[in-house]
Amino acid sequence: MDTTTLETASRVSLDNLLDDLRTDADDGLSPDEAERRLRDEGPNELRSAPPMPLWRRILAQFQDPLIYLLLIAVAISTVAWWIEGAEGLPVDALVITLVVIANAVLGFIQESRAEQAVAALQAMTHPHATVVRGGQTTEITAGEVVRGDILLLSEGDSVAADGRLLQASALRVAEAALTGESAAVGKKPGTLDGEIPLGDRTNMVFSGTAVTQGTGRAVITATGMATQMGEVARLLDETERDDTPLEREIGFVGKMLGAIVVAIAVVVMVTVWLVSGVDTLDDAVTVLLLGVSLAVAAVPEGLPAILSVVLSIGVQKMARRDAIVKDLGSVETLGSASVICSDKTGTLTSNEMTVQEIRTLSGTASVTGVGYAPDGEVECGSEEQRFEDELVLMGGALSSNAELRETDGEWEVLGDPTEGAFLVAERKLGVHDRRDNRFTRLAEVPFTSDRKRMSTLQRDHDRDEVVLVTKGAPDVVLERCTSVLCGDDVVPLTDELRAQLSADIEEMSGQAMRTMGVALREVDAGDVPDDKGVADAERAEDLETELTYLGAVGMIDPAREEAADAVADAHRAGIRVIMITGDHPATALRIARDLGITDDDGRAVSGVELDRADDSTFAELARSVNVFARVAPEHKLRIVDALQADGQIVAMTGDGVNDAPALKSADIGVAMGITGTEVTKEAGSMVLRDDNFATIVAAVEQGRVIFDNIKKFLRYLLSSNMGEVLTVFFGVVLAGLIGLTEASGAAIVVPLLATQILWINLVTDSAPALALGVDPQTDDVMARRPRAIGERVIDLGMWGIIVFVGAVMAASTLLTMDLFLVGGLIPGSDDLTTARTAAFTTLVFAQLFNVFSARSPITSAFHGLGTNRWLLAAVAFGAVSQVAVVEIPLLQTAFGTASLDLRHWLIAIAMASGVLWAEEARKLINRARHRRRGREADKASKGW
Ligand SMILES: Nc1ncnc2c1ncn2[C@@H]1O[C@H](COP(=O)(O)OP(=O)(O)OP(=O)(O)O)[C@@H](O)[C@H]1O
């Protein structure tokens, strides 16, 4: 902006402003100019801090308590090497350093790729903006908006940048994000005078606020950090992503392990010191090295990187199934969802409306044909009835913004399918041309979920008068009527007639039909807003009284084919499904029953009933009722709150701008990708690309699978650490028994070297852990109840398995060592390096066997053995790496290993398999217990 500033944008004259911005109010910028401005001025994004430089991001990988521990280990090894006379190279220290660096670099690469993948996904949900460029209306991402763009606004839009209004029709904008004012502010073009506070600049719209009603056209005066929102954002750093609860818990486990390790290391060192006595410098060094080995053993170094990779692969998988998760934390919340509150229209149903019946005072007309093709007939019984039907359909079509289009024999509706259904039925009756010629629209009072109706003012050229035509929820419309059409007469709407018409509506609704009423009234010429198109809609709204009721239509909106199965799946998974709809209670109840959301005794509670309910009644209704109908968006928020207060984890769907607060408040806000407004998509934590209920259930399932996989690799990695710690601990304590002391000739000797343990943790363990992270479903995750929130990822049962597996691994490893050492069963192999190599190999292979066991805490490892090819490849990689570290001379020096012959290899592998058999035995017992418990639980669960 050359001369206009944030402060003056509302005060300069429009002509000056447009000159200053070098743009045209009608045609906007040329596409080339817009591109040039985007290049010069940067994208329309809020970014307070510059992105972190590469070196700082790599360094951040080292800022981890576990890494500090390893660095201390490096220091100790170096000191030990120096005390021992500084001969040759400090191999241990070098190897540990190298491994730490390699780990950081690998972690960095993996995490960056994961972040990029997630960012690419999030970009799919970035808000869009509609602008006029080169005279054409174009949709672009909000980030591409530049100064001078002409921005078009309509209900549900999130305002992309700051702009000055050129036109507005009943425009209201919620500016709470900026001013804290919760009520939407009316906006209109004009030039303001003097210093005006932000909240009163009614001729401006601001970035990050939401259009709650009406339409408008604005010229963009500021973008990105130059906007009012940019001023606010400067204070916040938005670039950092918060850790998810899961990441925090894993971080906690890491820190806890670090603390335990230090404690164990101190205890072991002191014990060794006291029991064996440390007489020589060598002994002192060995005790220190022992501490190092233990530290290295207990720390799952690769864990953080693997976790972020697995989460990101998970969200990519969900995206392929049309569920775009906006933050990684939602993946785990999804898995624990216990209630899904879903809209009806378009989510549980297909949103393909076809008018089936028209009910007027003279009778019921059936409409034949399905879909949007206008092939069918309206079967009217009499001339009077035909006249009434014509008015109903014409009225519905007049109060509609949809378009019916035929391309290559295919009929489609652009816009709201409910409105499209009127256009189709009207064509079946053959009155659409007549309507087109006879009426001109003067103004519109838009449909909102709160109003549940829409009206237009029309000039009727045939009769030279102005009429207001209203269509909407028939009960709402009927309330505003005082007379009713009867043939070509208008008669007063007596209580008796009102009851008869209501009964008609109820009857249609009871057959799962979506009902719509149509009414009209003549309007005094003096009441007619004169300015065509930008009429004062609020005044027109005042005219929606004393209407003449024309009749109602019943439309079918078939349930989505997959919806009933998805509801059944949700129930099986212990998830309650609640329907919350703006539609008629009877329609809602019928469909809910058909889909199994409620049983035949279940009832529907209406918004009016909810309004009357006090807090405790409301809580009880939220607990016991599965169908809420004729509700307004505000009710959704109250329902979420009540369910959450009851300890539920709530997923809530929404599409309209007024649904945003409920979506924000829910544990998982699910926004509709097709029908959802930009504001709703911003508020949701997940966006459904296909608006389909079944996709939510699929996402829950996927969330549970991801969570299961995280458990799998945690079980796997932590058992490995446990095995290593126990091996070192008992190796030292039982050194005499095993023959270690004798073989080494020293008082104290470590069974495995620190570098060998690092090798396991970082080389042979990583690939299988990653493969477990992408494991296909092994157990039926939808057969369980939702995970309670606050339930630990690593619960007591899992710790039990980790300790059990670790103990078996340590036993196999030490037993192998014992076999190879003096007095052991394997002749000619009693040299310490060979025995240590065999023990090391046993531990590595025990881990490779354990991969298969770790896939499920209950199902046998042999079940579906080949279903995860990554896993087989990872195990093969682990085995080949182990052969390399044992047989390649350079690696032998680095890792203190010696060649083994075939027989030794086979013995080590056979010993390693012990862990697999032990786990199979444990699972067998566990399964038997589960079956018994399952039978009891089955009986108990029949009640819910
Ligand atoms: N375009 C429209 N014009 C006038 N009235 C409408 C229109 N669309 C819907 N209605 C009426 O308003 C009621 C509420 O609509 P709303 O959009 O809140 O919910 P819904 O579409 O019925 O269902 P859901 O809340 O399940 O998506 C509808 O039942 C219908 O009677």
| CA 229 – ligand 1 centroid, Å | 34
Q: Is the CB of 458 under 6 A from ligand 1?
A: no
Q: Where are the alpha helices (DSSP H) in 2-152?
A: 14-20, 31-41, 54-60, 65-83, 91-123
Average pLDDT for 280-291: 70
Domain stops at, among 640, 658, 691: 691
Residue 121 belongs to some domain of the structure: no
Residue nearest atom 22 in ligand 1 by C-alpha distance: 583
Residue 595 shares a structural domain with residue 660: yes
- Torsion-angle region of 408 (φ positive above 0: left; ψ -120 to 50: alpha; else: beta): left
Instruction: Kindly state the helix (H) or strand (E) to which residue 357 belongs, with its residue range.
Output: strand 354-360
Q: Is the CB of 582 under 6 A from ligand 1?
A: yes
Average pLDDT value over all residues in the chain: 85
The span from the CA of 391 to the CA of 429, in Å, is 11
Residue 786 shares a structural domain with residue 934: yes
CB distance 351 to 344 below 8 Å: no
Residue 696 belongs to some domain of the structure: no
At residue 96, does pLDDT exceed 60? Answer: yes
The pair of three-digit structure tokens given for residue 771, joined into one six-digit string: 């493969």
CATH number for the domain harbouring residue 538: 3.40.1110.10
CATH number for the domain harbouring residue 662: 3.40.50.1000
Q: What is the pLDDT of residues 462-477, one digit of tens each?
A: 888 889 999 999 999 9
The span from the CA of 242 to the CA of 264, in Å, is 32
Residue 141 shares a structural domain with residue 161: yes
Residue 73 belongs to some domain of the structure: no
Q: State how many domains the chain has.
A: 4
According to the per-residue pLDDT averaged within each range, which of 117-131, 302-316, 487-501 is highest? 487-501
CB distance 37 to 21 below 8 Å: no
Position in ligand 1 atom list of the atom nearest CA 343: 26
Q: What is the pLDDT of residue 532?
A: 44
Residue 944 belongs to some domain of the structure: no
Q: What is the pLDDT of residue 674?
A: 86
Residue 439 shares a structural domain with residue 570: no
The span from the CA of 441 to the CA of 466, in Å, is 10
Q: Is the CB of 286 under 6 A from ligand 1?
A: no
CB distance 591 to 511 below 8 Å: no
Q: What is the pLDDT of residues 621-670, one digit of tens each?
A: 999 999 999 998 889 999 999 999 998 999 999 988 778 888 888 989 99
Quote ipTM for the complex: 0.96
Query: Taking the alpha carbons of 867, 868, 874, 875 in that order, is the dihedral positive or negative?
Result: negative
Domain stops at, among 532, 556, 580: 556
CATH number for the domain harbouring residue 801: 1.20.1110.10
| CA 593 – ligand 1 centroid, Å | 20
**Full 3-state SS string of 692-719:** CHHHHHHHHHHHHHHHHHHHHHHHHHHH
Q: Would the pTM count as exceeding 0.90?
A: no
Residue 344 shares a structural domain with residue 366: no
Residue nearest atom 15 in ligand 1 by C-alpha distance: 582
At residue 908, does pLDDT exceed 90? Answer: yes
Q: Is the CB of 806 under 6 A from ligand 1?
A: no
Q: Is the CB of 447 under 6 A from ligand 1?
A: yes
Residue 398 shares a structural domain with residue 304: no
Residue 119 belongs to some domain of the structure: no
Residue 438 shares a structural domain with residue 469: yes
* 810 confidence band (pLDDT: 50, 70, 90): very high
Residue 766 belongs to some domain of the structure: yes
CATH number for the domain harbouring residue 212: 2.70.150.10
Residue 579 shares a structural domain with residue 491: no
Average pLDDT for 118-132: 77
The pair of three-digit structure tokens given for residue 80, joined into one six-digit string: 């030990």
The rounded radius of gyration (Å) of the Cα atoms in the chain is 36
Domain stops at, among 691, 721, 750: 691
Residue 551 shares a structural domain with residue 564: no
Residue 254 shares a structural domain with residue 337: no
At residue 701, does pLDDT exceed 70? Answer: yes
Residue 74 belongs to some domain of the structure: no
Please list the active-site residues.
343
Residue 370 belongs to some domain of the structure: yes
Q: What is the pLDDT of residue 747?
A: 66
Structural domain boundaries enclosing 772: 243-318+705-939
Q: What is the pLDDT of residues 381-428, one digit of tens each?
A: 888 899 999 999 999 999 988 889 888 888 988 888 999 999 999 999
Position in ligand 1 atom list of the atom nearest CA 471: 4
Which tops the pLDDT comparison, 457 or 518?
518
Residue 755 shares a structural domain with residue 896: yes
Q: What is the pLDDT of residues 349-385, one digit of tens each?
A: 988 899 999 999 989 999 998 888 888 888 888 888 9
At residue 154, does pLDDT exceed 90? Answer: no
At residue 818, does pLDDT exceed 80? Answer: yes
Residue 497 shares a structural domain with residue 598: no
Q: Specify the range with the lowest mean pLDDT, choosing from 239-243, 539-543, 878-882.
A: 239-243
